[in-house]
Amino acid sequence: MSEPAGFVREVKGDKVSFFLNKGTDLSFGQIVRVDSGNRSFYARVVDAGSSSTLKTDEQLREAEGKESFGPYSSYRHVDAILFLEKEVGKIRSPTFNPDYMDKVYTATDEDCSVLRLAGELEIGRLRSGKHVLGPVGISVEAIPLMMGMFGMTGCGKTNCELMLNARIIDSSPRTVGLIFDFAGQLLEGKGIAPQRGLRDHPLFHTKIRYYSAREQKMLVGLYTIRPQKLSTLFPDITHHQVRLAQKLYKSLGNTWIEQLQEAYSINGHKGVAELTDYKGKAVIDALMLKLSSLSPHLFPPSDYSFVDDVVQNVGQGVTCLVDISGLSSEEQYDVTCLTASSVALHYKRLWESDFNAWKKLPTLLITLEEAHEFLDPNMPKTIFSDIALTYRKYRVGLNAVTPRPSRINPNVFAELWTKVVMKTELRRDRVYLTGNTPYLEYSDTEVKMLDVGEALLISEPKIRFAVPIKVIHYPEYIDERGEVDYKLSASKPLSEMDERLKKLREAGKTNL
Ligand SMILES: Nc1ncnc2c1ncn2[C@@H]1O[C@H](COP(=O)(O)OP(=O)(O)OP(=O)(O)O)[C@@H](O)[C@H]1O
Ligand SMILES: [Mg+2]
């Protein structure tokens, strides 16, 4: 049994104040256990202070050396908020609170297992002061309940994404990832030091497929674009424009966009009007403005679309890394929305038409960096808000990664049941995070003070409090994982070899 860190001084509702024993170290956010009769309570440190039993004027006179006061006590007190109660092995939200003078302990490895933090997709370890304890992970069932990773530049978001996706790859074909890489970082791990990326994952050749605009592998044939895809590409398209597009598609077939572009470039709206009985100039011009914005490098006149390849790979548990660096922001938007909607729709269609085939699909997590660009409440709705709000039953999950959480639509934000909150300094974002996330209401200061790679994890319904974690550094994971994967038998520990050498040497001596 470890030494107590302190004892309870006052309890009110879910707030426990305790005196801290001299020489004990605690930090904001740390988890403590309060033993109370046959129950234990778990609480998180939210505030602390120090004081003495002297009055202010006495303290001043003592500090100035004018007078010295008889024996008095100085003390440190800590406030913690209860989040869990354990009684004979049963864990639940607190039904009561601890008592005056109950002893307080810092969390140990044993507490870590009581807290049941070890989901299958392990991304970090429980932080307790300066130490790290047992593993902390997100469960596979939490993927379709949507998630988000938030934190300012350089706090470790990309590393955390790499870690989570590495676990998803390890769990294939139960799980699969679709990753949109805006900065072209994840393949090689650019910006991660030491540099390790998904290419270094031992399953890279079998479980990961890389698509890059630079290698001309990212083409979306114009003939594969049907009118129903237009609202994904152009969220502001009107009902009239879609109707017109459907009419034109019906009469022109797969090459409809190419034919329209040609007719429009020769004869303007009249050229298009000749192909249909619809003559409204405004609607034709508006539709053609959209169709002509489709970039010819990305949308060549052909039947091939890399998106079909992505859909097929995802269905077989092969994680797809879509590197969209180097594209214009409009092209990036088109690629991400088209790919995500095709994959998500594939899940939805199978669910509706062939439930048994759907059951065999891996649970999908779509990782979207720069998520604020797609989930901004002031912009037209995109496929990503649709996924976040309505795709949970199809086992399609979204991981919205952004340094600017306050720019995410609050309705979508509320649906992100797993949140990895990393260091955030901007007040506006902190207020948004703590105000819109259950169990974070007391963590404002803590969120500002987190170090690189440190985070608070909430993953409902399994983890219903903010767990302080240290995210595993992806390069370390890869270096350790690499050794394991060759399936060589482990070499004998050095101490054992030393022992054998010693015996041999001794045997040698006696034989002399
Ligand atoms: N858990 C960790 N342990 C140790 N180092 C880490 C950890 N997480 C990140 N780092 C290091 O911190 C640096 C920044 O990490 P990362 O690129 O993941 O941050 P980011 O939040 O994605 O930044 P940006 O907003 O610029 O994209 C990298 O050098 C990375 O190796
Ligand atoms: Mg990053």
Residue 507 lies in a domain: no
| Residue 265, domain extent | 226-292
User: Which residue would you say has higher pLDDT here, 490 or 286?
Assistant: 286
Res. 386: pLDDT tops 90: yes
The alpha carbons of the chain give a radius of gyration, in whole angstroms, of 29
| Prior bond of 194 cis (ω within 30°) | yes
Which ligand number lies closest to the CA of residue 476? 1
Q: Which positions ≥6 away from 246 have C-beta within 8 Å?
A: 227
Average pLDDT, rounded, for the chain: 89
pLDDT category of residue 494 using cuts at 50, 70 and 90 = low
Residues 111 and 236 in one domain: no
Residues 372 and 430 in one domain: yes
- Per-residue pLDDT tens over the stretch 66-76: 877 776 777 78
Exposed e or buried b per residue across 271-290, where buried means at least 16 C-beta atoms within 10 angstroms of its C-beta: bbbebeeeeeeebbebbbeb
Mutate to test the pocket of ligand 1, among 125, 158, 185, 190 (most ligand atoms within 8 A of CB): 158
Residue 506 lies in a domain: no
Residues 186 and 235 in one domain: no
Ligand 1: atom nearest CA of 124 is 1
∠383-388-394 over CA atoms, to 5°?
95
Res. 488: pLDDT tops 70: no
What pLDDT shows up at residue 217?
Answer: 75
Residues 96 and 74 in one domain: yes
Residues 379 and 320 in one domain: yes
Ligand 2 centroid – CA 271 distance (Å): 47
Residues 316 and 278 in one domain: no
Residue 493 lies in a domain: no
d(CA 145, CA 419) in angstroms, rounded, equals 11
> In this structure, how many other beta carbons lie within 10 angstroms of the beta carbon of residue 54?
17
Q: Contact, 154 vs 134, CB < 8 A? A: no
Residues 10 and 101 in one domain: yes
Q: Which positions ≥6 away from 130 have C-beta within 8 Å?
A: 25, 27
Q: Say which range, 273-277, 280-284, 335-339, 345-349, has the weakest mean pLDDT.
A: 273-277
d(CA 484, CA 465) in angstroms, rounded, equals 34
Name the pairing type of β-strands 175-181 and 396-402. Answer: unpaired
What pLDDT shows up at residue 312?
Answer: 96
Residues 311 and 384 in one domain: yes
- Report the pLDDT averaged over residues 452-466: 92
Ligand 1 centroid – CA 418 distance (Å): 20
- Per-residue pLDDT tens over the stretch 196-249: 999 999 999 999 999 998 877 789 999 999 998 898 899 889 999 999 999 999
Whole-number percent of the chain with pLDDT over 90: 65
d(CA 110, CA 130) in angstroms, rounded, equals 17
Residue 334 lies in a domain: yes
Residues 320 and 418 in one domain: yes
Residues 44 and 168 in one domain: no
What pLDDT shows up at residue 80?
Answer: 93
What pLDDT shows up at residue 16?
Answer: 94
> What is the SS3 assignment for 313-333?
HHHCCCEEEEECCCCCHHHHH
Ligand 1 centroid – CA 451 distance (Å): 10
- Ligand 1 within 6 A of 151 CB? yes
Ligand 1 centroid – CA 170 distance (Å): 22
What CATH code is carried by the domain that includes residue 393? 3.40.50.300
> In this structure, how many other beta carbons lie within 10 angstroms of the beta carbon of residue 228?
13
What pLDDT shows up at residue 510?
Answer: 58
- Per-residue pLDDT tens over the stretch 79-101: 999 988 998 878 888 899 999 99
Residue 499 lies in a domain: no
Ligand 1: atom nearest CA of 192 is 31
- Ligand 1 within 6 A of 36 CB? no
Residues 309 and 288 in one domain: no
Residues 192 and 230 in one domain: no
Ligand 1: atom nearest CA of 191 is 17
What pLDDT shows up at residue 500?
Answer: 64
Mutate to test the pocket of ligand 1, among 123, 126, 149, 159 (most ligand atoms within 8 A of CB): 159
Number of domains in the chain: 3
- Report the pLDDT averaged over residues 291-311: 91
Q: Which of 371, 374, 412, 418 is nearest to 391 (CA)?
A: 412
What pLDDT shows up at residue 504?
Answer: 63
| Domain final residue, candidates 248, 265, 292 | 292
| Domain final residue, candidates 115, 149, 174 | 115
